[in-house]
Amino acid sequence: MRSRLMIIGAVTAAVLFFVLLFMNLIPGLRVKESAQPQATLTVWGVFDTQGTWNDLLNKYNSYRPNVRASYRELNPQTYEAELLNALAAGKGPDIFMFHNTWLPKHLDKIAPLPELQFPFIKYREIFPQVAEQDFAPNGTVYASPLYLDTLAMFYNKDLFDKAGIALLPKTWSDFQTAVKKLTEVNPNTNVITRSGAAIGGSEKSINRATDLLGLLMLQSGAKMVDSDFGRATFGASLSDKKPGLSSLTFYTQFANPASPYYTWNEDLHYSVDNFTEGGTAILFNYSHQTSVIKSKNPFLNFGIAETPQLAESDQPVAYANYWGLAVSNKSKAQDWAWDFIIYATTNEEAAKTYADATQKSPALKSLIAKNINDPTMSVFAKQALIARSWPQVDNNEVERSFSEMIQAVLSRRLSPEDALRKSEDEITHLMELKARK
């Protein structure tokens, strides 16, 4: 009898130990850290320096004394290639920054979040809809957003005042009217001496040109890919409308010399430089461009507003571009890696620490609510709640194809219909190649 009791007691103790171990991986539930195995986590990222991560890492290391997490900044130009090579060689990080368009391209390289560690329903509650769309499209969480940036309208206040524009354009019709007032063209040479807006050109001359075209397509209701992710469909008809075609035609009119809204051509200075030099009144870009503009011209009197919407639409749409954190499926500490991500992105204090250090627009709804009336971040806070995206088989190739589509129309090599069809076929081909792998 005594031996049986000893065995039962030992089994009970073992079960209790593992239950507590498991519970320690659930946010908010703590056990004695000294009883846990040591773990070391490496985080790779871009655009953020080691210094901006120090406070967040120190807080996590205090929260989990048995775990040590470190951060390494990589060159954004070579980041994806370096990351893929390291993962293939088994020398990659446990955690890495994951772009919001990467899931179709890199799904096979990441480990999903265990449902018991952090339930999907909670994830859905605390982040805007676009985070679920990009990182958890089927109810399984593959990454979690560090922040949430959106395309916004930067405008030169002095040029708006000079043109007598008292109210900012809320719709694209308002925008067309404003562009006509803001643009200055030499009547003898038809040369643009001041651009009303950096819109209509390709990536050759406009930073984020393809994102702006993508925004117009999403706002117009274009279905970018089919439900099975088998082919691109942004050129397809919906009822009696062709939203993709109308978006491309609307976009390129601003770089068409025959258009009454002609305001841009590919020979002008690069859009960001042109805006900071005072040669362009409106620039569409993301929040991180604010510091770039200020560094290039500290005296530029500019503001930031929400992107215009279609007047006939009752569903406003903003365009999302952001990075999250994902766990490598090669990591030997996947549960701890997810524990770090859960802490860094879902804990309000931790997420605020990152947002304050990087000056990026937060992704947590609770922090977004606090920024709604902030004079600097209100635009991005409001747009985060209406942000949308679309699954891209390869974001770099999509950008190339969209940019070439714009160039083909501007050079008159192809009609808008043919250029749209060519881009659609190119992206469909990439999707088919991906499906075969």
Average pLDDT, rounded, for the chain: 91
Residue bearing the bigger pLDDT, 53 or 12 = 53
- Angstrom distance (rounded) from CA 61 to CA 236: 51
Per-residue confidence (pLDDT) for residue 37, from 0 to 100 = 54
Angstrom distances, CA of residue 148 to CA of 287, 323, 376, 379: 10, 8, 15, 12
- Residue 6: pLDDT band by 50, 70, 90 thresholds? very low
Phi-psi region of 330 (alpha: psi -120 to 50; beta: other; left: phi over 0): alpha
Tokens of 17: 């130990």
Fold of 37-148+322-388: D-Maltodextrin-Binding Protein; domain 2 (3.40.190)
Q: How many CA atoms lie within 13 A of 227 on its CB side?
A: 0
Q: Taking 90 as the threshold, does the pLDDT of residue 15 lie above it? A: no
Give per-residue pLDDT as tens, 380-409: 999 999 999 999 999 999 999 999 999 999
37-148+322-388 and 150-320+393-436: same fold? Answer: yes
Per-residue confidence (pLDDT) for residue 240, from 0 to 100 = 82
- Residue 376: pLDDT band by 50, 70, 90 thresholds? confident
Burial 252-289 (b: 16+ CB within 10 A, else e): bbbbbeeeebbbbbeebeebbebbbebbbbbbbbbbeb
**Residues 423-434, mean pLDDT to the nearest whole number:** 96
Per-residue confidence (pLDDT) for residue 195, from 0 to 100 = 98
Q: How many CB atoms lie within 10 A of CB 316?
A: 17
Q: Taking 90 as the threshold, does the pLDDT of residue 436 lie above it? A: no
**Residues 153-157, mean pLDDT to the nearest whole number:** 98
Q: Taking 70 as the threshold, does the pLDDT of residue 2 lie above it? A: no
Per-residue confidence (pLDDT) for residue 314, from 0 to 100 = 87
| pTM of the shown model | 0.90
- What ranges do the domains of the chain cover? 1-30, 37-148+322-388, 150-320+393-436
Per-residue confidence (pLDDT) for residue 154, from 0 to 100 = 98
- The CATH code belonging to domain 150-320+393-436 is 3.40.190.10
Q: Taking 50 as the threshold, does the pLDDT of residue 3 lie above it? A: no
- Angstrom distance (rounded) from CA 289 to CA 293: 6
**Residues 277-297, mean pLDDT to the nearest whole number:** 96
Please choose, from the candidates 12, 30, 13, the residue with its C-alpha nearest in 3D space to the C-alpha of residue 21.
30
